[in-house]
Structure 1
């Protein structure tokens, strides 16, 4: 006798395994965008704000060209990560072994090290924003609470909920910074002078700042994790390629506009004053003049925006790092790609074990202090992942086994080669300064 329930279950599993085709209409495709917003929310963090504000303090808007280069290069990397997944059904981590057998292990160790610093850096800065807004709040206990809440959001949320939360974060922080930038332009006493700082140039002694802007804007671990979020949405068929490209393009358009607004605010407040955003008093040194110029509401809006920027990057970063660590462990253990789901899902034991690792590390390192310095260090150290990623994508997406539709074209090869060189130079600079 045939077991009808078992037969139906088998049919459902077979249907679920079949790749769904993308909608044929542009409106239908745009309605499905989502992983790019997650990437923007996770990648536009305190590092972007701190580096862009520091650049604005010293050079006004003269270094926007560096930010634009960084955004274009990061887009090329993200698009290539998504394209590799659509071409092979494999994530970048799973594909690393075919480039070099040692690469998955090296990547695993590297992400473990990043996990030590990431949570402490961002939870410290988030607590600094709240403590600046509410001085009675204790700084370090607040950082501990923020780290635990962020880990809890990742722990309880399936991807659909996680995407909705991250989309709300990007909306709040984007609108907050746009309002501040518009208010700054509307009230400045010297609008022509502010706009004149936009003239592109490379000031003496600004090379390290330029490299930090290029490497810091748009995130690092989130780029490598983009394929996991694409997989969660079920984008597998080649018809999803235009959707994926539009999705990643929207992500970096939002990123550039956000950093542009941050640069406008920083230029209006800091350029030519000799003030900088550094040390534990950096936020107050920026928020207080902002309140004096635009009113107390602007001060509150800036600090609240800074807090949500950091919180969203912390939540998204925990999610991205745990996906990368779980996938790296799966690859090292030799578990087939067909069994990847149970070992990398957000409710899997490896994912949650690495989430606990990131949270505990955040609590331990938080007591080192110097939160802004930690973020600046993370922004530079995090860029070490990018030369490996860009080099790997250059190799994998130029192989003859890749279908011509997904294989690198001239533009992709130029951009990925540029990313490999620039981010490699940034890695060398960081290693020299650190050691």
Structure 2
């Protein structure tokens, strides 16, 4: 099809990927093939969820669950739209964005380069802090260096099938660990009614960063944009896979929400009203020590071990997501045809591996900046800047008349994507003002 002068560029027709197959017809069969959603949950829970929910619970108890719920609902709508767009066109998210506006791949490429600069250093520093709190003899910064390089190594050598199994194992282990800690916290609280009374929603004055990190960080940012790559690896295509993809996405955000609720319970039970905080380098110890005093050394070890798994899985999954986005952005900017995509952006392609090395090198360079929790909160806030672009582009792409009805946005999708565009746009402006004001 030839575009008329002045009309927006249209996505090229894409042939189904090799070895695509129809979706299972039974519910049991559909459940058996789920996987990208667990990868997304494992990659996202940790980067913008655990630290920010603990920090929010320290100051406000359970009063910020509304922000977490809004974040989960909006991220579900965004992720479902990303997956639906791929099923409709067979094009990756970056290639599709180019058809909405030619400058979008440039913007995403620059933005993801910046995220890659902060992401590895922030999470490897927090992971090393968890281990060094558990084993004080371990030095924090050298340990962070080892963790970052090991995580990059897993992404560099791994294939998707192994990657999915590893990430699913991470998700199961840390979910069980946090549920056990939440139950133990409730069982040992002197006054459980304080937790219930703190459920009243609040909009904290003068603490926009915490709310921004909770809404923008819950469920991740790079993972949302990268969901189509993991769906592509599973060879899901065409309308028969829509129910499977939606179930997969729903499972991801259900697990994410339950995990963050459990984290908020732990933070409220141990930090709310105590005057302690986790916004400094001693924050983990400030939470681990009360856990040990109230519930014994086993709870302290479980918390620190769970926290380490949370940050490690987010680091491994984040590296994978960022490298997919970077390699695909470069491929799109070079106008490489979609039928050659695997050679230019697949996990075993040269660009993908070079970007893994980039993430590893920048992690090493930034690790010694210190203040790892502040870095993580900054990453979560900065990460919200990409969401208005993504949600706005999805509104355009999924409302085109040429799209087949099963893939086009329904009213609810348009409402949620419009809400994402407006809310994340406002939050991005607020964050820019806060950042510039602090200079």
TM-score of the superposed pair, with normalisation by structure 1 = 0.95
Q: Give the aligned partner of residue 402 of structure 2.
A: 401
Runs of 4 or more above 4 Å deviation: none
Q: Give the aligned partner of residue 213 of structure 2.
A: 212
Is residue 2:268 matched to residue 1:267?
yes
CA distances 1:384-427 after superposition (whole Å, capped 9, x unpaired): 11111101100000001111110000000000011111111111
Q: Give the aligned partner of residue 201 of structure 1.
A: 202
TM-score of the superposed pair, with normalisation by structure 2 = 0.94
The structure-2 alpha-carbon separation of the partners of 1:429 and 1:203, relative to structure 1 and needing over 3 Å to count, comes to: closer
Q: Separation in 2 of the partners of 1:322 and 1:387?
A: 21
Q: Give the aligned partner of residue 338 of structure 2.
A: 337
Contact in 2 for aligned 1:20/1:237 (Cα 8 Å): no
Q: Which has the higher helix share?
A: 1
Is residue 2:280 matched to residue 1:285?
no
The structure-2 alpha-carbon separation of the partners of 1:201 and 1:434, relative to structure 1 and needing over 3 Å to count, comes to: closer
Contact in 1 for aligned 2:391/2:421 (Cα 8 Å): yes
Q: Separation in 2 of the partners of 1:203 and 1:282?
A: 21
| 2:401 aligned counterpart, secondary structure | coil
Q: How does 1:262-411 map to 2 (within 5 A)?
A: 262-411=263-412
Is residue 2:222 matched to residue 1:238?
no
Contact in 2 for aligned 1:60/1:198 (Cα 8 Å): yes
Q: Separation in 1 of the partners of 2:143 and 2:17?
A: 44
The structure-2 alpha-carbon separation of the partners of 1:167 and 1:101, relative to structure 1 and needing over 3 Å to count, comes to: same
Q: Give the aligned partner of residue 146 of structure 1.
A: 147
Q: Give the aligned partner of residue 93 of structure 1.
A: 94
Unaligned 5+ segments in structure 1 are: 1-13
Q: Give the aligned partner of residue 192 of structure 2.
A: 191
Report the CA distance between 1:204 and its aligned residue.
3.8
Unaligned 5+ segments in structure 2 are: 1-14
Larger deviation, residues 73-82 vs 58-67: 58-67
Question: Between Structure 1 and Structure 2, how many residues are aligned?
Answer: 422
Contact in 2 for aligned 1:46/1:122 (Cα 8 Å): yes
Report the CA distance between 1:15 and its aligned residue.
10
The structure-2 alpha-carbon separation of the partners of 1:56 and 1:16, relative to structure 1 and needing over 3 Å to count, comes to: closer
Q: Separation in 2 of the partners of 1:62 and 1:120?
A: 30
CA distances 1:124-183 after superposition (whole Å, capped 9, x unpaired): 000000011101001111000000100111111100000000000001110010000000
Contact in 1 for aligned 2:178/2:259 (Cα 8 Å): yes
| 2:180 aligned counterpart, secondary structure | helix
The structure-2 alpha-carbon separation of the partners of 1:393 and 1:24, relative to structure 1 and needing over 3 Å to count, comes to: same
Q: Separation in 2 of the partners of 1:365 and 1:145?
A: 14
| 1:17 aligned counterpart, secondary structure | coil
CA distances 1:283-312 after superposition (whole Å, capped 9, x unpaired): 001110111011110011101111000000
The structure-2 alpha-carbon separation of the partners of 1:15 and 1:379, relative to structure 1 and needing over 3 Å to count, comes to: closer
Contact in 2 for aligned 1:19/1:237 (Cα 8 Å): no
Q: Separation in 1 of the partners of 2:314 and 2:17?
A: 32
Contact in 2 for aligned 1:46/1:375 (Cα 8 Å): yes
Report the CA distance between 1:430 and its aligned residue.
1.6
Larger deviation, residues 146-155 vs 423-432: 423-432
Q: Separation in 2 of the partners of 1:52 and 1:138?
A: 27
Q: Give the aligned partner of residue 171 of structure 2.
A: 170
CA distances 1:77-124 after superposition (whole Å, capped 9, x unpaired): 000000000001011100111111111111111111111111000000
Contact in 1 for aligned 2:112/2:322 (Cα 8 Å): yes
Q: Give the aligned partner of residue 414 of structure 2.
A: 413
Q: Separation in 2 of the partners of 1:431 and 1:201?
A: 23
Q: Separation in 1 of the partners of 2:26 and 2:50?
A: 37
